[in-house]
């Protein structure tokens, strides 16, 4: 693609003449090839100054915008938007659809929405582009916007296609909206899209991320064709649910069938080892990936292995490994290492790692300050903790509040610690009292060391009782039938007391409870958790 474009480009420069067709052919080669930046420089430089006889038309701009999307180049993208308006091409649907995608790729979901809202006519690509834009946006609540847009699309009678399904399913997966996910599954079946590779893969991912790993597996087993992507999705799904043995045996099955794993497959495999504390296996897969599969270890693989070593308590080895690795460790690696040090009670190491690598030069995100504060709390160094929080405050930073969500009959209910805003708050707190009573009977003592405040023991116990996932599980118990599965989504990670509480609740109420935290799933059943208390 590049070579043909380069040849044609050279020819245009030589003759100093072109026509829209040739110029667009060059652009297409560059924009879709391996060097999209060439497309932009061709437009902004060559076309204007070296080659006469061509003005960009409505075929030119989508190609250029495509290049901007791939480069995440918002500046040139905006400039092109200006040119489009100037040339009166802003009513062309191809151009508008490309603009939506350009803004989406460059992180401007609001700009993308503005373009979309101004369109007088929208086809399936317009809808898919804006749904995809919302689904991919990092801002809070964007998944819900994507799902809402999907409903509007159906109301307008536009038939979704494969790409639409994939984007909607991503929004379901990210937000954990299982009911909509199931609905999209039904629509896919009706439109015979369920068996298409991309859609089937997205469905598997959706079920896994919505807590229903069995349904994910069932669908995966029924797929008529599977590529490395599909295998990787299933392997990482199993890994995130703590089913490491299943994940690894699936990886071996994949190899037996002759499917070549890629670097992402290996990330999933290492993450399976990490989640189960399988140090020896993790080391072996890490070594083998280069030798047996020719896959170069990258940052995420090093990160996985270091996390695995650290969490298993091999702190010195993990830190040494981080210092000696051939790629510069990033903040994530130092943070996981500091967290592992805190878990294993090595306060000195934890504190040093945060100060050396996360808070140096006056930089630092709120997460690093919160981590340092937690390290001091665990070590009961209240003065130091207060200083950290003050430093945070003076920089205008705040700890993001912990929240838990639960879906009941298609409606999402969200709770924060001590929340009294829910319409059934009274019943929820009554249920919570009942749970506490039964926990006491079971001999459970609140793990007050988890409350990281310098307050008396009674106040700590009070704080613990009202953590958001406890409110969510109480609500789940009163608003679902006996024996029904309870699925809770947390924005952060659980504390140990909540983890213990879930175990006991699963046993005494005879419920399966699934908690998705920031990074993985915990499945509580009959008093135990699938993570084996390793998290």
CB atoms closer than 10 angstroms to residue 23? 26
For the chain, the farthest-separated pair of C-alpha atoms sits apart, in whole angstroms, at 90
CB of 502 to DNA, least distance (A): 19
Sole window of 62-70, 113-121, 351-359, 480-488 interacting with DNA (rule: CB under 7 A): 62-70
CB of 414 to DNA, least distance (A): 22
Q: Which of 339, 376, 415, 489 binds DNA (CB under 7 A)?
A: 339
Size of the site for DNA (CB under 7 A): 76
Q: Which of 470, 503, 520, 522 binds DNA (CB under 7 A)?
A: 520
CB-nearer residue toward DNA: 64 or 471: 64
What part of residues 11-50 is at the interface with DNA (CB under 7 A)?
A: 20-21, 24, 28, 31-32
Interface with DNA includes 59 (CB under 7 A)? yes
Q: Is 444 exposed, middle or buried (0-12, 13-18, 19+ CB in 10 A)?
A: middle
Interface with DNA includes 74 (CB under 7 A)? no
What part of residues 113-132 is at the interface with DNA (CB under 7 A)?
A: 123-126, 128-129, 132
CB-nearer residue toward DNA: 164 or 212: 164
Binding mask 139-168 for DNA (x = CB under 7 A): ----------------------xxxx-xx-
Interface with DNA includes 333 (CB under 7 A)? yes
CB-nearer residue toward DNA: 115 or 435: 115
Tell me the DSSP string of 443-499. Answer: T----GGG--SSS-HHHHHHHHHT-HHHHHHHHHHHHS-TT--EEEEESSPPPHHHH
Interface with DNA includes 77 (CB under 7 A)? no
CB-nearer residue toward DNA: 17 or 440: 17
CB-nearer residue toward DNA: 335 or 431: 335
CB of 423 to DNA, least distance (A): 34
Interface with DNA includes 335 (CB under 7 A)? yes
CB-nearer residue toward DNA: 72 or 526: 72
Region for residue 325 given its phi and psi (left: phi exceeds 0; alpha: psi -120 to 50; beta: otherwise): beta
From 232, 315, 246, select the one nearest 279 (Cα to Cα).
315
What part of residues 196-235 is at the interface with DNA (CB under 7 A)?
A: 196-199, 201-202, 205, 227, 229-230, 232-233
CB-nearer residue toward DNA: 227 or 320: 227
Q: Which of 35, 41, 94, 444 binds DNA (CB under 7 A)?
A: 94
CB-nearer residue toward DNA: 270 or 477: 270
Residues 6+ apart with CB under 8 A from 95: 58, 61, 62, 65, 84, 89
CB-nearer residue toward DNA: 192 or 423: 192
Sole window of 33-41, 178-186, 269-277, 445-453 interacting with DNA (rule: CB under 7 A): 269-277
CB-nearer residue toward DNA: 432 or 517: 517
SS (H, E, C) 427-449: HHHHHHHHHHHHHHHCCCCCCHH
Residues 6+ apart with CB under 8 A from 460: 446, 448, 451, 453
Residues 6+ apart with CB under 8 A from 30: 2, 5, 36, 38, 39, 42, 67
Interface with DNA includes 371 (CB under 7 A)? no
Sole window of 38-46, 137-145, 194-202, 523-531 interacting with DNA (rule: CB under 7 A): 194-202
Interface with DNA includes 503 (CB under 7 A)? no
CB-nearer residue toward DNA: 1 or 478: 1
Rounded Cα–Cα distance for residues 244 and 268 (Å): 10
Q: How many CA atoms lie within 13 A of 104 on its CB side?
A: 25
Q: Which of 42, 150, 302, 521 binds DNA (CB under 7 A)?
A: 302
What are 515's strand-pairing partners? 488, 522
From 278, 279, 280, 284, select the one nearest 266 (Cα to Cα).
284
Interface with DNA includes 83 (CB under 7 A)? no
Strand order in the sheet with 528-529: 411-416, 403-408, 486-490, 513-516, 521-525, 528-529
Please check whether residue 454 is in contact with residue 385, taking contact to mean a CB–CB distance below 8 angstroms.
Answer: yes
CB of 377 to DNA, least distance (A): 17
Sign of CA dihedral 428, 433, 439, 442: negative
> What are the tokens at 363?
């930089």
CB-nearer residue toward DNA: 95 or 432: 95
CA 48 to chain CA mean position, Å: 42
SS (H, E, C) 316-334: HHHHHHHHHCCCCCCHHHH
Interface with DNA includes 268 (CB under 7 A)? yes
| Residue 169 phi, psi dihedral angles, 5° rounding | -65, -35
Q: Which of 9, 12, 76, 98 binds DNA (CB under 7 A)?
A: 98
Please check whether residue 486 is in contact with residue 511, taking contact to mean a CB–CB distance below 8 angstroms.
Answer: yes
Q: Which of 188, 240, 368, 468 binds DNA (CB under 7 A)?
A: 240
């Amino acid at each position: 693609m590049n070579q043909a474009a380069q040849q044609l480009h050279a020819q245009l420069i030589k003759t100093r003449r072109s026509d829209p067709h040739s110029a667009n052919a060059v652009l297409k080669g560059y924009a879709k090839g391996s060097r999209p930046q060439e497309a932009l420089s061709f437009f902004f430089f060559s076309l204007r100054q070296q080659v006469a006889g061509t003005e960009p038309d409505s075929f030119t701009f989508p190609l250029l915008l495509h290049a901007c999307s791939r480069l995440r180049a918002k500046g040139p993208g905006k400039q092109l938007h200006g040119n489009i308006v100037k040339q009166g091409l802003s009513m062309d649907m191809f151009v508008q659809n490309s603009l939506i995608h350009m803004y989406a790729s460059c992180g401007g979901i609001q700009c993308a929405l503005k373009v979309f809202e101004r369109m007088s006519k929208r086809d399936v690509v317009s809808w898919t582009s804006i749904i995809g834009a919302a689904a991919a946006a990092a801002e809070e609540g964007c998944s819900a916007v994507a799902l809402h847009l999907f409903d509007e699309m159906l109301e307008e009678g536009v038939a979704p296609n494969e790409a639409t399904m994939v984007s909607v399913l991503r929004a379901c997966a990210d937000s954990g909206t299982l009911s909509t996910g199931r609905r999209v599954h039904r629509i896919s079946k009706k439109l015979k899209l369920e068996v298409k590779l991309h859609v089937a893969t997205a469905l598997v991912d959706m079920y896994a991320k919505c807590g229903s790993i069995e349904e994910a597996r069932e669908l995966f087993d029924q797929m008529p064709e599977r590529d490395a992507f599909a295998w990787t999705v299933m392997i990482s799904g199993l890994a995130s649910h703590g089913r490491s043995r299943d994940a690894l045996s699936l990886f071996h099955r994949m190899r037996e069938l002759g499917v070549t794993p890629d670097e992402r497959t290996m990330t999933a495999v290492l993450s399976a080892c990490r989640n189960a504390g399988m140090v020896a296996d993790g080391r072996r897969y890490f070594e083998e990936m280069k030798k047996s599969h020719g896959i170069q270890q990258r940052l995420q693989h090093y990160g996985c292995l270091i996390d695995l070593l650290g969490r298993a308590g091999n702190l010195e080895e993990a830190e040494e490994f981080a210092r000696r690795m051939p790629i510069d460790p990033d903040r994530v690696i130092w943070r996981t290492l500091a967290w592992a040090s805190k878990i294993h009670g090595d306060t000195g190491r934890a504190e040093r790692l945060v100060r050396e690598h996360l808070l140096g030069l006056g930089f630092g995100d709120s997460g690093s300050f919160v981590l340092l504060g937690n390290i001091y709390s665990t070590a009961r160094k209240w003065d130091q903790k207060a200083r950290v929080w003050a430093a945070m405050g003076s920089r205008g930073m705040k700890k993001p509040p912990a929240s838990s969500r639960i879906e009941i009959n298609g409606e999402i209910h969200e709770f924060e610690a001590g929340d009294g805003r829910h319409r059934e708050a009274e019943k929820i707190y009554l249920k919570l009292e009942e749970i506490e009573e039964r926990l006491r009977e079971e001999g459970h003592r609140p793990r007050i060391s988890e409350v990281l405040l310098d307050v008396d023991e009674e106040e700590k116990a009070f704080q613990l009782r009202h953590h958001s996932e406890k409110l969510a599980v109480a609500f789940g118990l009163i608003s679902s039938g006996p024996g029904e599965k309870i699925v809770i989504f947390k924005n952060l990670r659980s504390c140990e007391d909540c983890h213990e509480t879930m175990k006991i609740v699963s046993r005494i109420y005879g419920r399966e409870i699934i908690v998705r935290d920031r990074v993985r799933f915990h499945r509580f059943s009959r008093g135990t958790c699938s993570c084996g208390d390793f998290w």
